[in-house]
Amino acid sequence: MIRRHPLSRKGMAVLETALVLPLLLLLSFGLVEYGHYFYVKHTLQGAAREGVRAAVPQNTTNADVAAAISRAMNAAGMGGSGYKVTYSPADVASATEGTQMTIAVECIWGTVGLRPMKLIPSAKKVVGTVVMRKEGT
């Protein structure tokens, strides 16, 4: 003799999927957006590192630093992102041995970011900053 469950379970899987799927999609797209944000941040940090590495030897100029940053940004596919470079001190050639050289590379998230959920504001600045000391002779 076959006994039937008093409550029918037909359609429960569809209902559960309909309830859980939107939440899973929100999580997935949120992870994509934040993952891309950290990729961009890491790329800017790497470009700033290449720039400061070009700035610390003696007899280097701001043009050498800009070229190193440009190569790093182009290699990452972000050459046209409208990034901005900040030097401290402003003229790397005039810095003396032991001076802290700070290079910051920044861009606006709205120009480089994937924004499927628009969780990160488009006006947010993404900055990569590196500090090294100027080398001697």
Residue owning tokens 């910051």: 104
Q: Letter for the amino acid at 14?
A: V
pLDDT reported for residue 114: 78
Cα–Cα distances (Å) from 55 to 92, 94, 126, 131, in that order, read: 6, 11, 22, 10
pLDDT reported for residue 1: 63
**For the chain (length 137 residues), average pLDDT per consecutive 10?**
64 89 93 93 97 95 96 93 94 94 95 85 95 89
pLDDT reported for residue 11: 81
pLDDT reported for residue 9: 67
Reported pTM: 0.84
Cis geometry, peptide bond prior to residue 22 (ω within 30 degrees of 0): no
pLDDT reported for residue 6: 58
Task: Give me the torsion for CA of 112, 116, 121, 122, rounded to 10°.
Answer: 40
Which of these, 85, 83, 43, lies nearest to 62 by C-alpha position?
Answer: 85
89's tokens: 């001190």
pLDDT reported for residue 14: 87
Q: Where are the domains of the chain?
A: 12-133
